[in-house]
Chains A and B, each alone.
Chain A
Amino acid sequence: MSVRTDSEIITKARHGCAPGGSIEPVDWADDHELDVSVIVPVQSSDAEVRDVVEALGSELQRQGRKWEVVFVFDGVAGEAWDEVLELRAAYGRRVRSISFKNPFGESVCLSAALERARGRYIVTSPQYVQVDPVELRSMLSALDGGADFVTPWRHPRVDPWLNRLQSAAFNLVIRSIIRMHFHDLNCYFRAIRREVLDDVAVYGEMYRFLPVIAYRQGYRVVEVRVRHLKEWGRTGFFGLGIYTRRFLDILAVMFLTKFTLKPLRFFGTIGGAFGLAGAVICLWLTGQKLFLGEPLSGKPLLLLGVMLIVLGVQVLGFGLVGEIIIFSQARNLKEYRVERVYETPPKARHGGDD
């Protein structure tokens, strides 16, 4: 999904404000390619944008990496926006910002920022310093070592026990459904190789499940234990609505990562099960009628059987339409990504002959 770029939706910030502080200038700030882009979706006006830039920026500076921070204001303005304008004046192109007029959610923020980010590695961060910035070293060196996606595990955590309990339960459920050993999907302080994000489509509320999607698509996902500094956001019981949404999200992730190209396998299994159950019931009742002489009337079970058969057939019908959609799109679906082609250049190949 991409963001509409008309001026209605995205209002690019103008330069202004006085330069602040004593930030040493660097010669790479305008480079086309950097090492790390930190992407920060901003969702409330009290975001601690200055802390994020200073904490992460100085850590990345210490590691000798060329960095930038891209803020995406998700339909918010106010104090944080003014602060970002000051930061931009002070840091130049190392701090950039995008602003949406209306809120679109983290996934859209991420893809809008990706279109503009210059880094080879992408670090996504919440709008405050949630995790000790020093952890960036181990996370980025994991990427250097060949990992595609580094997901953090906040341990030990500093938020109230009720939050921790719910979070642990959520992660336990995910672990048992997806059969992967991640402890903490709810922390958005992640380090990702850029190509992964180009390949893994992010949309809807899938932001949370990025590591799962990446893992299911065959990327190397690594978990790194990090020191938790503080936690924002809701405390107490999260509510049934949130739990329902999470559950549906998991279902969608499972479907999309496994059955995108073979919808009939998914719908066929479900529909087949329903149809089979219905057929067994109907055959049983028919047998009773034919051989035992028991009347069919007064047996609601007959209705259940017929309903199940109808349901099964309808689910199969959905699978068929799914297959047709995939088949007709086959030309546009490139199932693979080539990382690199190794070959002898044509000149060298025929150098001696002609």
Chain B
Amino acid sequence: MKPVQLSIVVPIFNEEESLAILHREIGEALEAMGEEWSPAEILFVDDCSTDASLHVMISLLRQDPRVRVLKFRRNYGQTAALSAGFDEARGRVVVTLDGDLQNDPADIPSMVLELERGYDVVAGWRKRRHDGFILRRLPSIIANRLIARTTGVSIHDTGCTLKAFRTEVVKSMNIYAEQHRFLPVLSAGSGARVRELVVHHRPRRFGRSKYGIGRAFRVLIDLFVIKYIAQFSHRPIQYFGIISLTTMGFGLLFGVVALLSLGTGDGHGLGLGFNDWEMAVFTVLALVFSCVVYFSLLGLLAELAVKASGMHRRSTLDRILNELHG
């Protein structure tokens, strides 16, 4: 029996109206891909929907043996739904898709073909978006520019759920806390071959958007985390050492300023010829030097946490990609 070739992962949260259409369209896309990509599986991850979504999914399951449904114990959010889908996926290629019909399943074949041409990740790019400009598109443009700028990986549209991955890539990455949108960036940082492909984007037909503008600030912090934490975690002591030395530099700068101004005052203060201004500078100096000690200790603490987790001994994405591409 042939193993599963292709896994389509769809996070579902309250999409009762869209599901049947979505399933039909995915079916057509799979049909178009031919025998080579069958058997495929369609993995619906039900993020504890409160409407009739689960019933619809189960009735789809009765008609179509390719469908599998994962029901969450409670609502965990889209990142958890995707990472559950990745954990459960059996195919050698995983395609993720939004449940709200804004992605067009007809794009799946071209993405998978693109992946087969030697890429590890193919990310969808909704070049012509059908969302409001101020609230949805503008923040997204700014965020994506920032992501491209800080990570050095230029991806126009990180928010698009339609993506195709080699299974080895997603299985070796651990995403948590709303990091799903950074998957291509994360993997590219480890040396994965990432490719963008323009996909269709359709206006919302049912229900309403589950996002708002409030996440902009959070995305920024997440961005910082994505950019630096992975690096930090490999050798925390080095990075904290750099911070520590930087603060020490500031401290020395203050010290030099204080020394240069020595004796120019009126001879109050400690009786060493320091004036009030120099006293202030020396206090600042002491505070800054306390930061030097603080960051060194913090670096040691981080080192301890990383060592205790055993992370440094496990196989990482870099190594897997290395083996993949020889």
A residues apposed to B, CB below 8 Å: 148, 195, 199, 217-219, 261-262, 264-265, 268, 295-299, 302-303, 306-307, 310, 313-314, 317-318, 320-321, 323-333, 335-344, 348-350, 354
Q: A297 touches which one: B225, B230, B275 (CB < 8 A)?
A: B275
B76 near A218: Cβ-Cβ < 8 Å: yes
Residue pairs across A and B with Cβ atoms less than 8 A apart, 22 shown, are: A218-B74, A218-B76, A262-B178, A262-B225, A264-B224, A297-B276, A298-B276, A299-B280, A310-B290, A313-B247, A317-B295, A320-B229, A320-B298, A320-B302, A323-B232, A324-B236, A331-B311, A336-B81, A338-B84, A342-B58, A344-B67, A348-B65
Q: Specify which of A335, A341, A342 is in contact with B76 (CB 8 Å cutoff).
A: A335
B: which residues have CB within 8 A of A?
1, 48, 57-58, 61, 65, 67-76, 79-81, 83-84, 88, 174-178, 218, 221-222, 224-225, 229-230, 232-233, 236, 243, 247, 275-277, 279-280, 283-284, 287-288, 290-291, 294-295, 298, 301-302, 305-306, 309, 311, 314
A327 pairs with B295, CB closer than 8 A: no
Q: Would A331 and B174 be within 8 Å (CB), given that A218-B74, A307-B287 are in contact? A: yes
Give the contacting residue for A339; candidates B72, B221, B229, B276; CB below 8 A.
Answer: B72
Q: Is the CB of A265 within 8 A of B221?
A: yes
Residues of A close to B233: CB separation below 8 A: 324, 327-328
Whether A328 and B311, one on each chain, are in contact in the complex, defined by CB atoms closer than 8 angstroms, is yes
Smallest Cβ-Cβ distance to B279: which chain A residue: A297
- Also in contact, A343 and B314, with CB within 8 A (given A297-B276, A321-B305): no
Q: Report which of A218, A302, A314 forms a contact with B291, defined as CB distance below 8 A.
A: A314
Q: A336 and B287: CB pair below 8 A?
A: no
Q: Measured between C-beta atoms, what is the minimum distance from B108 to chain A in Å?
A: 21
* B225 engages A342 (CB within 8 Å): no
Neighbour of B74 across the interface among A219, A314, A327, A343, CB < 8 A: A219
| Closest A-B pairs by Cβ, 8 of them | A297-B276, A330-B174, A261-B177, A218-B74, A328-B309, A336-B80, A342-B69, A344-B65
CB-CB under 8 A from A354, the residues of chain B are 1
Interface SS majority for chain B: helix
Contact count A vs B, C-beta below 8 Å: 150
Is there an interface contact between B309 and A218, defined as CB atoms closer than 8 Å?
no
Interface residue from B75, B88, B298 paired with A317 (Cβ < 8 Å):
B298
- For A310, the chain B residues whose CB sits under 8 A away are 287-288, 290-291
Q: Cβ of B72 and Cβ of A343 under 8 Å apart?
A: no
Q: How far is the CB of A41 from chain B (nearest CB, A)?
A: 26
CA–CA, A195 and B74, complex, Å: 11
CB < 8 Å neighbour of B73 from A306, A317, A329, A338:
A338
Tell me which of A314, A330, A349 contacts B65 (CB under 8 A): A349
A329 to chain B, nearest CB (A): 5
Q: Which residues of B sit under 8 angstroms from A320, Cβ to Cβ?
A: 229, 232, 298, 302
Residue of A nearest to B64 (CB): A344
Chain A residues within 8 Å of B74, by CB: 148, 217-219, 337
**Smallest CB separation, B262 vs chain A (Å):** 15
- A residues less than 8 Å from B288 (CB atoms): 310
A264 and B284 CA atoms in complex are apart in Å by 27
- Besides A218-B74, A338-B70, A339-B73, 6 new A-B residue pairs in contact (Cβ under 8 A), listed by A number: A262-B221, A262-B222, A296-B277, A323-B232, A325-B309, A343-B69
Highest count of chain A CB atoms <10 Å: which of B67, B230, B233: B233
